[in-house]
Amino acid sequence: MGGLALNLTPCVYPLIPITVSYFGGRTGQSRAALAVHGGLYVVGLGMTNSALGVAAALTGSFMGAALQSPAVLVGVAVALLFFAASLFGLWELRLPSALMSVASRSYTGYFGALFMGLTLGIVAAPCVGPFVLGLLTWVASLGNPWLGFVIFFTLSLGLGLPLFFLGVLSGSLENLPRSGEWMLWVRKVMGWALVGMAAYFVRPILPEGAGVFLLAGVALAAGIHVGWIDQTTAAFRAFGFFKNLAGTAGTVVGAFLIGSWLMAAPGVSWQQYSDELLEKARAQGKSVVMDFSASWCTPCRELDEITFRNPEVARAAAGDFVMIKVDVTGQSDTKTRELISRYSVKGVPTVVFLDDRGEERQSLRLVDYAPPDQVLARMAQLRK
């Protein structure tokens, strides 16, 4: 959906006549041959963006450690707000005309179609770049190269598919809405998306309630602005519908975030690690669930907000388990580093399950987000 939306930004729109003229110049070729050229065109785009996604994900451990620092989180948020200001029209990002002319040349053959796709991102960069940079930071924080590849290849498909169909199917250009003021509205929507990402990155350094209200406030402000305050108009009737839809969506998301936080169950009651606590658990014949997490870790937050707030998980934990939280955000104290080494924690989240003798059940260990039913199943196995 993000890739498709990027097609509506002013920087991508000029690519439409370039694409159509490039494929339209192959009038002697069959529809199948045009489809192959179009496929290579999209694959070229996907290769460029996916390489960025994999590179960002491979730096995940570095980025994860870097994002422990409040100063870095604030810096990322400021950068995203800076790019958002560009999309709001406060300043303009333009490429040198020499790069534009190189990217807009026509290249022949199948390799030419691939090369056109590879250079497509250069022309689109002024509008696509801010969004992609925000996405790169998020993918790097996940630290999963395969997921980074899939996310950016999917984004590329969304960006390239409309151009693919326009190139292969003749006569489609005249049916498109004419460029105009409505494109500036699309830029504002993308700008609010970057503001939301900025709020997402500063959320870990805020109290839980403040972080939720910040995200909700951004969603409400975005909905009210692009839906009803903004006075942009367009010649086609559907534009009014999309404005109202965007405004309603932002309002609903903001209200949902606030409502879900206010109505959330208290969840698991965590205790801070101590050797005495483990000895007491063994003496009472209780199993232990030990969660290694960090404030900058996205799957850790999902575990806390979804899985460990599930009423069934909380009830099971209160009855038969000792629940221990180990915060590795700073890794500053000796005891935390010792625990990381003792339990061979390679990253977060890592959830360790210890039986009533204090021995880990390696087969039950979690190293990623898991829904409540999977955690309940592991807890049941541990009790046996």
One DSSP character per residue, 352-384 reads: EEE-TTS-B-GGG-B-S---HHHHHHHHHHHH-
Portion of the chain with pLDDT greater than 90, in percent: 26
Higher pLDDT among residues 190 and 364, named by residue: 364
Among 157, 178, 199, residue at a domain's last position: 178
Q: By residue range, what is the domain housing residue 345?
A: 271-383
Average pLDDT, the chain: 79
- Model confidence pLDDT, tens digit, residues 51-81: 766 766 666 555 555 555 678 778 878 888 9
- The tokens of 295 are what? 């404030």
Whether 273 shows a pLDDT value over 60: the answer reads yes
Higher pLDDT among residues 360 and 302, named by residue: 360
Average pLDDT over residues 33-45: 79
298 DSSP 8-state letter: H
Among 178, 210, 238, residue at a domain's last position: 178
Helices 70-87, 109-142: axis angle to 10 degrees equals 140
C-alpha 90/C-alpha 367 separation (Å) is 43
Residues 170, 293 within the same domain: no
Instruction: Give residue 173's pLDDT.
Output: 47
Residues 161, 302 within the same domain: no
Residues 170, 276 within the same domain: no
Instruction: Give residue 373's pLDDT.
Output: 94
Instruction: Give residue 80's pLDDT.
Output: 80
Confidence of residue 375 (pLDDT cuts 50, 70, 90): very high
Higher pLDDT among residues 285 and 29, named by residue: 285
98 found inside a domain:
yes
- The tokens of 156 are what? 């590329």
Q: In what order do the strands lie in the sheet with 271-272?
A: 271-272, 321-327, 287-293, 350-354
C-alpha 8/C-alpha 16 separation (Å) is 11
C-alpha 364/C-alpha 352 separation (Å) is 7
CATH number of the domain encompassing residue 339: 3.40.30.10
371 found inside a domain:
yes
Work out the burial of residue 67: count CB atoms within 10 Å of its CB; fewer than 13 is exposed, 13-18 middle, 19 or more buried.
buried
43 found inside a domain:
yes
* Total structural domains within the chain: 2
Confidence of residue 172 (pLDDT cuts 50, 70, 90): very low
Residues 165, 34 within the same domain: yes
- The tokens of 281 are what? 């658990």
- Model confidence pLDDT, tens digit, residues 210-268: 988 999 999 999 999 999 998 888 777 888 898 999 999 999 999 999 988 888 777 89
88-92, 140-144, 311-315: least confidently modelled range: 140-144
112-116, 185-189, 291-295: least confidently modelled range: 112-116
- The tokens of 261 are what? 């936080």
Buried b (16+ CB within 10 A) or exposed e, 89-103: eeeeeeeeeeeeeeb
Average pLDDT over residues 301-311: 89
323 found inside a domain:
yes
193 found inside a domain:
no
Residues 50 and 149: beta-carbon distance below 8 Å: yes
Instruction: Give residue 231's pLDDT.
Output: 86
84 found inside a domain:
yes
Among 139, 158, 178, residue at a domain's last position: 178
Residues 91 and 314: beta-carbon distance below 8 Å: no
61 found inside a domain:
yes
Residues annotated catalytic, as ranges: 297, 300
Instruction: Give residue 26's pLDDT.
Output: 55
293 found inside a domain:
yes
Residues 47, 162 within the same domain: yes
Whether 171 shows a pLDDT value over 50: the answer reads no
- Model confidence pLDDT, tens digit, residues 97-146: 655 555 445 555 677 777 777 766 555 554 555 566 667 667 766 667 78
Confidence of residue 200 (pLDDT cuts 50, 70, 90): confident
Residues 174, 275 within the same domain: no
Q: Where are the alpha helices (DSSP H) in the chain?
A: 2-6, 15-24, 31-58, 60-66, 70-87, 97-103, 109-142, 145-168, 182-202, 208-224, 238-262, 275-283, 298-302, 311-320, 334-342, 372-383
Residues 10, 158 within the same domain: yes
Whether 1 shows a pLDDT value over 60: the answer reads yes
**pTM of the predicted structure, to 2 decimals:** 0.61
Residues 281 and 358: beta-carbon distance below 8 Å: yes
> Across-strand partners of 33?
none
